[in-house]
Chain A
Amino acid sequence: MAARKSTKKPNVSAEELKQYYRDMLLIRRFEEKAGQLYGMGLIGGFCHLYIGQEAVVVGLEATAEEGDKRITTYRDHGHMLACGMNPDGVMAELTGREGGYSRGKGGSMHMFSKEKDFYGGHGIVGANVPLGAGLAFADKYKGTDRVTFTYFGDGAANQGQVYETFNMAALWDLPVVFVIENNQYAMGTSQQRSTSTPEIYTRGDAFGIPGEAVDGMDVLAVRDAGQKAVKHCRAGKGPYILEIKTYRYRGHSMSDPAKYRTREEVQKMREEKDAIEHVRDLLLQGEHATEEDLKAIDKEIKDVVNASAEFAKESPEPDEAELWTDIYAETTPQKA
């Protein structure tokens, strides 16, 4: 693993670095386990792994405060773990069990936690973008200074409703950070085959929304850009666009043979740009941690992930009565 050249000393504490390492590793190990359970038939349907992209959510979650909201598309496991949702509940939702966040009724792509202000988990590419602006609208309407992180991919960035949303978000100064996770492939279509102008972060120009491109394989770069974006939104200056250049190591979903790119391309990213190895190097080179310390963290994460898999296997399937629940909310007494 070649260490990346760094021209300046990173502005980060040892504790923060260790936390980022831990958070990113949790996502990676969790996703590897999910892939394994999928192979065993314990997880069904569509399952989109986040491996490779861990620095994006971990860097941005480092800038979030209590009450800030987040919403994303279907590659959502990493976002849930990063915002503090319980790995047991996420894994059990993947296996479609009662112990899952949606009691088994949502699945990999449709999970939510009101408690952690995680608003999904949406299966329709691009549809979560106006929803995120709507969450921001609600915060602004109520007079809070909370911010909504609205994540979507380079593929979703070609949906019309994204630009409808950019227009209204700018028009109404909505406190929303549009996070474009550009992993370079919209399913099997590379960015150059799908996108007329490759610099997606400039697409806010037409609406007066500032944007910038960020190295998504560097958690500190993501965090620093996130801080700037969040400050902008919290100050009431309206939306901000971050195009985070990242890379997914696995296929689009579990059933993707990934013939649209070479094995060497993936291997090169893994070897030269891996976000977890980057933080690992920073920890060791800065003498913030020893190999032994990191081994202990690895072990701790492995235990958490194994426990989540056990929980997800043992949790029963939802009761048959669940078929008919949660279709309609009960009428509640209204304000007089």
Chain B
Amino acid sequence: MATEILMPALSPTMEEGTLAKWLVKEGDTVSAGDILAEIETDKATMEFEAVDEGTLGKILVAEGTEGVKVNTPIAVLLEEGESADDIDTAGASGAGAPASAEPEPEAAKGADTPAPARAAAPQAPAPDRSPDWPEGTETRNQTVREALNAAIAEELRRDDDVFLMGEEVAEYEGAYKITQGLLDEFGARRIIDTPITEHGFAGIGVGAAFGGLRPIVEFMTWNFAMQAIDQIINSAAKTLYMSGGQMGCPMVFRGPNGAAARVGAQHSQDYAAWYAHIPGLRVVQPYSASDYKGLFKSAVRDPNPVIFLENEILYGKSFEVPVMDDFTVPFGKARVWREGGDVTLVSFGIGMTYAMEAAEKLAEDGVQAEVIDLRTLRPMDTDTVVASVMKTNRCVTIEEGWPVASIGNHISAVLMSRAFDYLDAPVINCTGKDVPMPYAANLEKMALTSTDEVLEAVRQVTYR
């Protein structure tokens, strides 16, 4: 039976092309692989090969014709025994049902809504406000460093599939002493010193997670993880989706993030907003020692890649940590550190130090601030923020990261869409300044946000 040769799509974006030149003529015998024609696409001139064998019975589109739509019949191929007289263009079988040549119209996709549409009328959400540990539980004063070290050790004890790799994590016991004692207890099979090779060991960690292990990959600081960010985003975050759910990446990437003290531009950057942008990642940035412990244990157990953003300055700070056999904190649940009705302060990680200090000072002046620690940025407990702002009608966000496309920007947008009518003032984002981190002590201080800036922002949103 005669077969129609159709105008081919020769690039991802081609919808039509020019039939520049025929390289065969009617009556020629062609076999698979022979070049039939030259076709100009939007990008280049391409040679078009035959996929079937036969005799070229008729050319339907003359050379030099422009604007030939993809899937238009351009010639007819005859099988053995057929002649050109057999051609009935209408009756010739296509080489297969053509795909819908016209792209379907793009439906309005609601690009402005981050999630499936929700009810338009703002309703006060009822977030989970249960305490992190049962009342009456004994607590112990611990540094963030001690709590995090204990969390890692507990997870290593619980599951042999958990291992830790990174630079100086084993024999040196951690550049920031987070992994102290782990090599002694767990041995070199599970506590693995890597060469200085972030891209490589991040990828090996992801591969090990694909292979069924539960890696903890330490970056000496998150600044160095930029060398590895392709593996974190393209390999770790996207594979579950790309594999239709077959293969996930259960692992934790952890290390200190953000400014420390006087280490300059390349070692002082907050990556909260960078990673919070990526679907497929969990992003955690804890403040208190109990959250470091409870959230880290949840991170190791989570079946997804988790970005665990620590802070060097917080490592030495002490907090109450519950004495429990297996203390975990769930993702996606903010913690309200202070309740108040006058203004909502939203922060996370080291930003909380400014928020808490500001709240104390405000209380001295009779202003009651509600202080919310987001704790996890993905998932983010926006319900708690929205419910609070519906009560206080004012909001200030605090973070050390840069101002453009910051976490505070996102919260502002959420409040605009979910609590617009409740806002009595524009939301103010206190952030790091829009500059690389300077080295000089005075300039570094200026580049970060501060308690004073938070106080000034509160004055503005409360019109005092």
Contacts and interface: CB of A to CB of B under 8 A. Distances in A.
B204 A134 contact: yes
16 contacts: A41-B9, A105-B241, A122-B235, A127-B234, A131-B203, A133-B204, A134-B210, A138-B211, A164-B195, A167-B200, A326-B240, A328-B280, A328-B303, A330-B303, A334-B301, A335-B159
Interface size range of chain B in the complex: 35 or more
A141 B44 contact: no
Interface of A: 32, 35-42, 44-46, 69, 71, 100-106, 110-114, 119-124, 127, 129-139, 141-142, 160-161, 164-165, 167-168, 171, 254-255, 257-259, 263, 270, 309, 313, 324-332, 334-336
A32 B51 contact: yes
Contacts of A160: 199
Contacts of A132: 207
B208 A141 contact: yes
Contacts of B250: 329
Contact of B210 (A35, A42, A135, A309): A135
B142 interface: no
A313 B96 contact: yes
A327 B249 CA distance: 11
Contact of B99 (A40, A161, A309, A329): A40
A100 B244 CA distance: 9
B211 A135 contact: yes
B8 interface: yes
B242 A110 contact: yes
B211 A40 contact: no
- 7 closest A-B pairs by beta carbon, nearest first, are A134-B207, A130-B203, A164-B200, A138-B211, A39-B8, A255-B11, A329-B303
B285 interface: no
Nearest to A166: B200
B47 A131 contact: no
A331 B189 CA distance: 27
A327 B279 contact: yes
Which residue of B95, B159, B204 has the most chain A CB atoms within 10 A of its CB atom?
B204
B435 interface: no
Given A40-B71, A127-B230, A254-B11, A167 B44 contact: no
B64 to A, nearest CB: 19
B230 A124 contact: yes
Interface string B1-33: 000001011111010000000000000000011
Nearest to B301: A334
Interface of B: 6, 8-12, 14, 32-33, 35, 41, 43-47, 51, 70-71, 95-99, 101, 116, 158-159, 163, 189, 194-195, 197, 199-213, 230-231, 234-235, 239-248, 250, 279-280, 282, 301-304
B203 A165 contact: yes
B213 A168 contact: no
Contact of A134 (B11, B209, B301): B209
Contacts of A111: 243
A133 B207 contact: yes
Given A39-B8, A127-B230, A255-B10, A137 B207 contact: yes
Nearest to B101: A41
A317 to B, nearest CB: 10
Contacts of A113: 246
Nearest to A139: B211
B324 to A, nearest CB: 15
Given A41-B98, A131-B206, A102 B199 contact: no
Contacts of A100: 244
Contacts of B47: 257-258, 263
B209 A120 contact: no
Given A138-B212, A329-B303, A41 B70 contact: yes
Contact of A161 (B35, B189, B199, B241): B199
Contact of A130 (B212, B231, B248): B231
A134 B240 contact: no
B279 A133 contact: no
A16 to B, nearest CB: 27
A265 to B, nearest CB: 14
A39 B10 contact: yes
A167 B197 contact: yes
Contacts of B194: 168
A110 B246 CA distance: 12
B241 A326 contact: yes
A35 B51 contact: yes
A133 to B, nearest CB: 5
A119 B280 contact: no
A327 B237 CA distance: 8
A330 B99 CA distance: 36
Contacts of A122: 234-235
A42 B99 CA distance: 6
B339 to A, nearest CB: 30
B247 A129 contact: no
B207 A141 contact: no
Nearest to B32: A32
A120 B12 contact: no
Contacts of B241: 105, 326-327
A324 B110 CA distance: 14
Contacts of A164: 195, 197, 199-201
Nearest to A69: B211
A330 B240 CA distance: 11
B97 A313 contact: yes
B200 A40 contact: no
Nearest to A102: B244
Nearest to A110: B242
A11 to B, nearest CB: 33
Contacts of A136: 207, 211
A113, A129, A161: residue with the most chain B Cβ atoms closer than 10 Å: A161
B228 to A, nearest CB: 9
A122 B233 CA distance: 13
A35 B267 CA distance: 49
Q: Which of A45, A164, A165, A259 has the most CB of B within 10 A?
A: A164
A138 B189 CA distance: 11
A32 B234 CA distance: 29
Contacts of B242: 102, 105-106, 110, 112, 120-121
A335 B214 CA distance: 12
Given A32-B32, A130-B231, A138-B207, A114 B301 contact: no
Contacts of B244: 100-106, 112, 326
Contacts of A324: 116
A132 B9 CA distance: 34
Contacts of B239: 112, 120
A127 B71 contact: no
Given A105-B242, A327-B240, A112 B303 contact: no
A40 B9 contact: yes
B96 A255 contact: no
